[in-house]
Amino acid sequence: MAAQEAAVDSVRDREIGVEQDHLDQVYRRLEEKIHEAEFLMDDAARRGHVGTPGALAERDAQVFRAGVHLNRLNSEFEDFLFGRIDLLLGKDGELGPDGAYTSVEPADDAVRDGRAEIAETLHIGRLGVLDADYSPLVIDWRAPAAAPFYRSTPKDPGRVVRRRVIRSKGRRVLGVEDDLMRPELTASLGGAELPVVGDGALMAALGRARSHAMRDIVSSIQAEQDLVIRAPAASVTEVGGGPGTGKTAVALHRAAYLLYQDRRRYAGGILVVSPTPLLVAYTEGVLPSLGEEGQVAIRAVGSLVDGAEAGAYDEPAVARVKGSSRMVKVLRKAARGALELPAADGAAAPDRLRAVAFGERVELDAAELQRIRQAVLGGTAPVNLLRPRARRLVLDALWARSGARRRYPDDELAAEARQAFDEDIATEPYFTEFLDAWWPELTPRRVLAAMADERRLGRWSRRVLQPREARLLARSLRRTGAEGRGPLSVHDVALLDELHVLLGAPARPRKREADPLDQLTGLEELTTYADRMPMRRSRVERLEEERIDYAHVIVDEAQDLTPMQWRLVGRRGRHATWTVVGDPAQSSWSDPEEAAAARDEALGTRPRRRFTLTVNYRNPAEIAEVAAKVLALAMPGMESPEAVRSTGNHPRFAVANQSHGAVANQSHGAVANQSHGAVANQSHGAVADRSHGAVSGGDLGAAVREEARRLLEEVDGTVGVVVAMDRREEARQWTAGLGDRVVALGSLEAKGLEYDATVVVSPAEIADESPAGLRVLYVALTRATQRLTVLSGERDMPDGDGVPDLLRD
């Protein structure tokens, strides 16, 4: 036995050595490139000028980039080179089904009597590197030739015999893991038998501890995911699939792929829309680790409008009103009605105009002014842009009222007189003041703030919102303050954007700029994230300033966008192609049909291509099984994705016991080895109960701390404590002092995130919090990669095993 193990180890060591040699060769080549570039620069400097200034600048850039590149390779990319495939001889010139790779099938004589010789070996990495004779030392993972690394499976191996994942850090290869795609073959490489090490890289990747930043999956993308990542960018690509199927990961890798494939086309920018700033923070490191970011802006849906940053949270009933497409009508009325608002200093809007022209007094009364305003507002043009027309009609009315026209029977003379009349009036300060007060320049903030007045909003929303809804909305908007400068919710931001369109601040024209990378021929293979960072900063800032349409829009957690948010996002991709990623079973929006209609409107009639991911890479089967119970309640008939691994650790059911101030520990009935002795709760003096009387905060808090502590010992990475939104503040206090591996968050904040272990606190509270509560609970239960504790209070009606009502069979 020991001899066998030693033999395995020696094969492993030898294979690590083989890959080390290759990696050394890659670094040597990169150093050569740097020397070449340095030589060119010295040479240029010596001669003062060589070629055009453009060529000199290009050389400088080349030296700079090559240097930065090497630095980055040394320090940043832990596994710069991560894959290898060994291929059979291929059929000549054959194209893959989507053009993704050539000669996908082995040549007819590649295998003889079950034996085959490896004809070609390719190494795959985050960036491509060519040897001096232009043969590839490393192929960029997005290149067509790299596709078999991801696509081949034992069922459909194509030319791949052995697929190897290489783990390295800096310049050192640490390990290799092989998957045999054609185990039936006796394959040889250079005359010797093809060695095979380990048993697959995917499981190793999935079992790793989680941190607060998402990792790329570039070395273990699975075939069904690769199809989505490389799908042609035409029109709309929709990606469905349950929790943990890699939708977010795939969407981000797709952004990197699209840029690689057609950098010029995406110079207009790729926008990734995320539901929360937490998910943005969690995912924003992925693209840089793929060597891409320059043209990608990852934004939370509450940060899509310049100068507005959502921080406040709306109760579900308020969110429902603010998110509904009925708000378009209300806002239209508000944008027009706001012209009548009193001025900032409280002065009432003027209701008459007295002017002096040609030495005579002329006056327009309230009815006349009202008639003019109605006439101007007749169409749908933005209110602020109608001001010049309003000004002209006022002057027309003054002219008509003055009777001056009658004095000039000659048309030409009349026209001259009219011009003098207009100048006479329009240059007077009183006229400008009148116009500023009567047709003020309105800002979205000011109109939103005006909607906080219940009576006014009642008028603007008549026959569109129910009086109760209008009241709720007005009350919630009071938070924004008189000038609208107060805290905004994510739903307010969509309203602001809509108002921006209705009021019309003229958008600045979009400046399309060629990507400087395109001009540096031959250097694409040699640039890294760090190279592009300075370029990225200025570009992303400019893109934002200019409120442009992006070239491609990726919407993550698309099921959560409200109709008003779809309009907001839709405006940023009017000419874009789209990737829309989501799972209806995780939707926290209460009216999925209304949201679907708004989504259809945003995406228009563009053709759609739909993919479904079917494998859950996050949750072990034991956790997925419990979550499936809630899915059956939330979306009867909907299938759960298949969990790819099992840990043997069943979820733990615990109950916060308020009468004795103790945590009763319950293991899942089925699993005997999960029993952990009872934990005495120290906090007997229970804190006053919350309004709905589930569990007293003190008891619950102590139980949460206890569970979080336990989980910290059981896992190496992060622990998430998920509570009803209402309990967020409390939960942060409960977990204070437990260290930064523990995070407390509200159920809606948990969207898209994951932790090694989670404590889901009171499923009933989460489920009861909104009309979509069961789906939100489903999200909460599917965040853990290793361990899950479900902590119940009385409201959860736990049974003898501590299993809450909602999770029982």
Ligand X SMILES: Nc1ncnc2c1ncn2[C@@H]1O[C@H](COP(=O)(O)OP(=O)(O)OP(=O)(O)O)[C@@H](O)[C@H]1O
Nearer to ligand X, 165 or 339 (CB): 165
206 lies in the site for ligand X, by CB under 6 A? yes
Nearer to ligand X, 613 or 731 (CB): 613
Nearer to ligand X, 244 or 269 (CB): 244
Select the span of 174-182, 201-209, 294-302, 668-676 touching ligand X (CB under 6 A).
201-209
Token couple for 230: 């490389």
- If DSSP codes are grouped into helix, strand and coil, which group holds residue 556? coil
Q: Which of 617, 653, 734, 778 binds ligand X (CB under 6 A)?
A: 617
CB of 568 to ligand X, least distance (A): 21
Nearer to ligand X, 240 or 697 (CB): 240
Phi/psi at 608 (5° precision): -120, 150
202 lies in the site for ligand X, by CB under 6 A? yes
In contact, 252 and 243? CB cutoff 8 Å: no
CB of 246 to ligand X, least distance (A): 3
Closest to 460 (Cα-Cα) out of 443, 479, 447, 445: 447
Residue 661 known to bind ligand: no
Q: Which of 168, 248, 476, 735 binds ligand X (CB under 6 A)?
A: 248
253 lies in the site for ligand X, by CB under 6 A? no
Select the span of 62-70, 213-221, 228-236, 536-544 touching ligand X (CB under 6 A).
213-221
754 lies in the site for ligand X, by CB under 6 A? yes
620 lies in the site for ligand X, by CB under 6 A? no
3-state secondary structure 337-404: HHHHCCCCCCCCCCCCEEEEECCEEEEECHHHHHHHHHHHCCCCCCHHHHHHHHHHHHHHHHHHHHCH
In contact, 88 and 116? CB cutoff 8 Å: yes
Q: Which of residues 106-145 bind ligand X (CB under 6 A)?
A: none
In contact, 543 and 535? CB cutoff 8 Å: no
Q: Say how far apart CA 237 and CA 216 lie, in whole Å.
A: 21
Residue identified by tokens 């489903």 is 778
Residue 243 known to bind ligand: yes
Q: Which of 243, 294, 697, 773 binds ligand X (CB under 6 A)?
A: 243
Q: Which residues contact 12 (CB under 8 A, 6 or more apart)?
A: 175, 176, 197, 198
Q: Which of residues 400-429 bind ligand X (CB under 6 A)?
A: none
Nearer to ligand X, 217 or 731 (CB): 217
Nearer to ligand X, 216 or 531 (CB): 216
249 lies in the site for ligand X, by CB under 6 A? yes
Select the span of 245-253, 560-568, 678-686, 791-799 touching ligand X (CB under 6 A).
245-253
Residue 785 known to bind ligand: no
CB of 237 to ligand X, least distance (A): 15
Q: Which of 62, 152, 168, 222 binds ligand X (CB under 6 A)?
A: 222
Residue 246 known to bind ligand: yes
246 lies in the site for ligand X, by CB under 6 A? yes
Residue 242 known to bind ligand: yes
CB of 764 to ligand X, least distance (A): 22
CB of 780 to ligand X, least distance (A): 11
588 lies in the site for ligand X, by CB under 6 A? no
Q: Which of 240, 244, 337, 698 binds ligand X (CB under 6 A)?
A: 244
438-457 footprint of ligand X as x/- string (CB under 6 A): --------------------
Closest to 626 (Cα-Cα) out of 590, 583, 664, 671: 671
Q: Which of 66, 217, 404, 724 binds ligand X (CB under 6 A)?
A: 217
Number of residues that bind ligand X (CB under 6 A): 24
- Cα 174 to Cα 15, 16, 19, 169, 290, distances in angstroms: 11, 7, 10, 7, 20
Select the span of 57-65, 117-125, 212-220, 329-337 touching ligand X (CB under 6 A).
212-220
466 burial (CB, 10 Å; 0-12 / 13-18 / 19+) is exposed
CB of 619 to ligand X, least distance (A): 9
In contact, 577 and 235? CB cutoff 8 Å: yes
Residue 751 known to bind ligand: no
Tell me, rounded to whole angstroms, the distance of Cα 597 from its chain centroid: 21
Q: Which of 103, 152, 168, 220 binds ligand X (CB under 6 A)?
A: 220
Closest to 179 (Cα-Cα) out of 206, 152, 141: 152
Q: Which residues contact 492 (CB under 8 A, 6 or more apart)?
A: 308, 310, 312, 314, 322, 448, 477, 480
152 lies in the site for ligand X, by CB under 6 A? no
Q: How many CA atoms lie within 13 A of 235 on its CB side?
A: 11
Nearer to ligand X, 287 or 548 (CB): 287
How many DSSP H helices and E strands does the chain contain? 27, 28
Q: Say how far apart CA 272 and CA 579 lie, in whole Å.
A: 9
**Residue 505: DSSP 8-state:** P
Q: Which of residues 717-746 bind ligand X (CB under 6 A)?
A: none
CB of 641 to ligand X, least distance (A): 8
Select the span of 247-255, 287-295, 389-397, 541-549 touching ligand X (CB under 6 A).
247-255
Please list the residues that pair with 609 across neighbouring strands: 237
Q: Please provide the distance, in angstroms rounded to a whole number, between the alpha carbons at the two ends of the chain.
A: 46
Residue 651 known to bind ligand: no
Tell me, rounded to whole angstroms, the distance of Cα 734 from its chain centroid: 29
Q: Say how far apart CA 50 and CA 808 lie, in whole Å.
A: 79
Q: Which of residues 775-794 bind ligand X (CB under 6 A)?
A: 782
Q: Say how far apart CA 780 and CA 722 lie, in whole Å.
A: 7
Select the span of 65-73, 240-248, 470-478, 484-492 touching ligand X (CB under 6 A).
240-248
Tell me, rounded to whole angstroms, the distance of Cα 326 from its chain centroid: 26
Q: Which residues contact 429 (CB under 8 A, 6 or more apart)?
A: none
Q: Which of 225, 461, 590, 789 binds ligand X (CB under 6 A)?
A: 225
Q: How many CA atoms lie within 13 A of 403 on its CB side?
A: 5
3-state secondary structure 567-601: HHHHHHHCCCEEEEECCHHHCCCCCHHHHHHHHHH
62 lies in the site for ligand X, by CB under 6 A? no
Q: Which of 19, 292, 497, 583 binds ligand X (CB under 6 A)?
A: 583
Select the span of 39-47, 242-250, 683-691, 767-775 touching ligand X (CB under 6 A).
242-250
In contact, 514 and 504? CB cutoff 8 Å: no
Nearer to ligand X, 666 or 718 (CB): 718
750 lies in the site for ligand X, by CB under 6 A? no
CB of 239 to ligand X, least distance (A): 9
CB of 580 to ligand X, least distance (A): 13
Four-residue CA torsion sign, 491, 493, 499, 501: negative
User: Which residues in 541-561 are b (16+ Cβ under 10 Å) and which e?
Assistant: eebbeebbbbbbbbbbbbbbb
Residue identified by tokens 């129910």 is 466
In contact, 354 and 431? CB cutoff 8 Å: no
Select the span of 61-69, 135-143, 202-210, 545-553 touching ligand X (CB under 6 A).
202-210
Residue 48 known to bind ligand: no
247 lies in the site for ligand X, by CB under 6 A? yes
179 lies in the site for ligand X, by CB under 6 A? no
618 lies in the site for ligand X, by CB under 6 A? yes
Phi/psi at 654 (5° precision): -125, 155
640 lies in the site for ligand X, by CB under 6 A? no
Site of interaction with ligand X (CB under 6 A) = 202, 205-206, 215, 217, 220-222, 225, 241, 243-249, 583, 586, 617-618, 752, 754, 782
- Which residue numbers belong to the known binding site? 241-248
- Which residue numbers belong to the known binding site for ATP? 241-248
